[in-house]
Amino acid sequence: MRLGYLHPSWTISAAKPEAIVVSLVRAEDAGEARREITYALYRERIRSEGAPLRELLLKTMVA
């Protein structure tokens, strides 16, 4: 996940398929961690849902 190098002080792992575990150095970072992870998951969802459309667009442009 991209967050690993953006926030090297965070320890991020997927304990289960539906859970993300984050260990923070400072408790004050909890709000930022939640926002960053939610945003990263949202970006990934948009990228994966848009992949077929991008593929179709490239095929029509190249053909």
Angle, vertex CA 4, rays to CA 35 and CA 49, nearest 5:
60
The two most distant CA atoms of the chain are separated, in Å, by 54
- Count up the domains in the chain and report the number: 1
Q: How far is CA 49 from the centre of its chain?
A: 14
Q: What is the pLDDT of residues 9-44, one digit of tens each?
A: 888 888 788 888 888 988 888 999 999 989 988 999
DSSP state of 17: T
The conformation of residue 25, written as its DSSP 8-state character, comes to S
pTM score, two decimals?
A: 0.70
Alpha-carbon span 10 to 31, nearest angstrom: 13
What domain range includes position 33?
Answer: 3-62
